[in-house]
DNA sequence: AGATAATCTTTGCAGCGTTTAGATGGATTT
DNA sequence: AAATCCATCTAAACGCTGCAAAGATTATCT
């Protein structure tokens, strides 16, 4: 018992973390994501997150003022991930029309593959009555608008561009919220799979109808 | 104390309801609606509903197997109300195009004016991964499909009709979920009000683009 | 080295959904 | 009319939740 007590306790029991965690906020966000993926949004209590991170139920309150603020952090990472998914889809597309449809399909697929996080993203937005500012500065929303602008050759008015972006965004969100609904199953089958169904719906939306005729 | 005790206790103290309520399920649904309108979905606990209805916290369990089943009853009435709103909008429209846009505007306005009930309606649907069957049998969904069918003169294929209905429905739902978002405020102002904004978005969707060209 | 501030734990409170056991009283049978 | 049955209600309790207050622990700064 001379001198080496502290490092020894660390190396001998690596799971017994020190009193000060080091980066608990990060650990909490990751714990929340783990719970969301495993058991869904209903299981996401602050206490469960603390449990998963291995700290006391009150510990999170030193990093987030309440549960909502932790969820906001989770949502923030969700929007970043969505942004990345849209960027990837945009680069994969050939022509302008395909690029737009691909963006829509990628959006809905993100929601389908990350339903719990997608839920949290919009729950947070609704609490604040606004989408995060994150989206405006070269984020996901901006990508959609840019894609529409490119397709029209940059000749469309600012208002029409904004309206078309909103229309596309709303359609994508609506479809994202319902993509798992059983009512669509026969149609998905008839069209040869879920992605084909998505493309068909987006094509029916004809989001450029007005831009093309004006 | 002779003979008249029972009616006397009723007429003398009308707020002291008898041990057996009479129609508690109905009273509970109405209590839930009252709470939703007054304090929003976050305040809607089963206990609060029981309190509002003047019964014990366990009383609801004799009429609904759990909280979700009560919410389903509330949602059911919500869909019926939405149905009525769409019917009214449909009858007010002149030509076929106007009828379709009017339907969309009416849909979103219903969600804007009854945000809490609208939330419950879709929360329930999501729990079951399906929209209620209610919509298919001459309900709201059916109204949209019929309107699209009428507009196209009944010449459109079954699959295209279904796809167009889904597209329109998703766009309406997406817009309904975001209509209150602050990002839209400048645009609403620029277009001269919220309803004008809604019309503009729906026109941008050009929901008949594909039907017209095929 | 000692003080300060940040971080974590313990304890506690009120509210939640739900279950169990018991009270009440209308309806049905005898 | 009396006894029975059963739907309906209440009371009490369990484990969960979000959150606040107060105390313990440790890093950091002077």
- For the domain bounded by A17-64, which CATH number is listed? 1.10.10.60
- CA dihedral (A172, B123, A119, A89) in degrees, to 10, reads -20
User: What is the rounded average pLDDT for all residues in chain B?
Assistant: 88
Query: What pLDDT is stored for residue A152 in this prediction?
Result: 84
Q: Residues of CATH 1.10.357.10 domain(s) within chain A?
A: 72-213
Size of interface A-B (CB pairs under 8 A): 129
Q: What topology does CATH give the domain A72-213?
A: Tetracycline Repressor; domain 2 (1.10.357)
Strand D footprint at Cβ < 7 Å? Answer: A 18-20, 44-48, 57-58, 61, 66-68; B 19-22, 24, 55-59, 62-63
Q: Give B79-118 pLDDT, tens digit per residue.
A: 999 999 999 999 998 888 889 899 999 999 999 999 999 9
Q: Which chain B residue has the Cα nearest residue A204? A: B210
Query: What pLDDT is stored for residue A47 in this prediction?
Result: 98
What percentage of chain B has pLDDT greater than the value 90? 72
CA of B62: nucleotide with nearest C1': D8
Does residue B123 have a pLDDT over 60?
yes
DSSP states of B66-120: SHHHHHHHHHHHHHHHHHHHHHHHHHH-SSHHHHHHHHHHHHHHHHHHSHHHHHH
Residues lower than pLDDT 70 in chain A: 1-16, 18-20, 206-214
Q: What mean pLDDT comes out for the span B68-76?
A: 98
Q: What mean pLDDT comes out for the span B41-69?
A: 98
Contact call for A166 and B206, based on CB within 8 A: no
Domain B71-213 top-level CATH class: mainly alpha
Does residue B1 have a pLDDT over 80?
no
Q: Residues of CATH 1.10.10 domain(s) within chain B?
A: 10-64
Query: What pLDDT is stored for residue B206 in this prediction?
Result: 66
| Distances from the Cα of A184 to the Cα of A178, A180, B129, angstroms | 9, 8, 10
Query: What pLDDT is stored for residue A179 in this prediction?
Result: 98
Q: Residues of CATH 1.10.357.10 domain(s) within chain B?
A: 71-213
Query: What pLDDT is stored for residue B13 in this prediction?
Result: 42
Query: What pLDDT is stored for residue A212 in this prediction?
Result: 52
Q: Residues of CATH 1.10.10.60 domain(s) within chain A?
A: 17-64
| H or E element, residue A47 | helix A46-53
Burial class (CB in 10 A: 0-12, 13-18, 19+), A22: exposed
Q: Which is higher by pLDDT, A9 or B58?
A: B58
Q: Give B169-194 pLDDT, tens digit per residue.
A: 999 999 999 999 999 999 999 999 99
Closest protein CA to C1' of nucleotide C8, residue: A59
Query: What pLDDT is stored for residue A187 in this prediction?
Result: 97
Query: What pLDDT is stored for residue A16 in this prediction?
Result: 61
Q: What mean pLDDT comes out for the span B65-85?
A: 97
Query: What pLDDT is stored for residue B154 in this prediction?
Result: 85
- In sequence order, which ranges of chain B are alpha helices (DSSP H)? 5-12, 24-39, 46-53, 67-92, 96-113, 115-128, 140-151, 158-178, 185-191, 194-205, 209-213
Contact call for B177 and A210, based on CB within 8 A: no
Architecture of the domain delimited by B10-64:
Orthogonal Bundle (1.10)
Residues in B touching A181 (Cβ below 8 Å) = 125, 129-131
């Amino acid at each position: 018992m001379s001198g080496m007590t502290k490092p020894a306790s660390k190396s001998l029991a690596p799971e017994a973390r020190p009193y000060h965690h080091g980066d608990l906020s990060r650990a909490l966000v990751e714990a929340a994501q783990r719970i969301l993926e495993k058991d869904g949004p209903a299981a996401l209590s602050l206490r469960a997150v603390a449990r998963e991170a291995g700290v006391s139920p009150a510990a999170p309150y030193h990093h987030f003022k309440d549960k909502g603020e932790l969820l906001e952090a989770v949502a923030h990472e969700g929007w970043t991930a969505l942004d990345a998914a849209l960027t990837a889809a945009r680069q994969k597309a050939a022509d302008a029309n395909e690029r737009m449809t691909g963006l829509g399909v990628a959006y809905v697929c993100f929601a389908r593959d990350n339903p719990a996080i997608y839920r949290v993203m919009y729950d947070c937005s609704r609490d604040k009555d606004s989408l995060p500012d994150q989206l405006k500065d070269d984020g996901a929303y901006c990508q959609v608008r840019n894609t529409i602008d490119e397709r029209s050759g940059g000749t469309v008015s600012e208002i029409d561009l904004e309206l078309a972006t909103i229309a596309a965004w709303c359609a994508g969100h609506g479809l994202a919220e319902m993509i798992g609904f059983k009512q669509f199953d026969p149609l998905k089958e008839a069209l040869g799979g879920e992605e084909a169904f998505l493309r068909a719906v987006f094509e029916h939306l004809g989001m450029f109808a007005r831009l093309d005729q004006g």
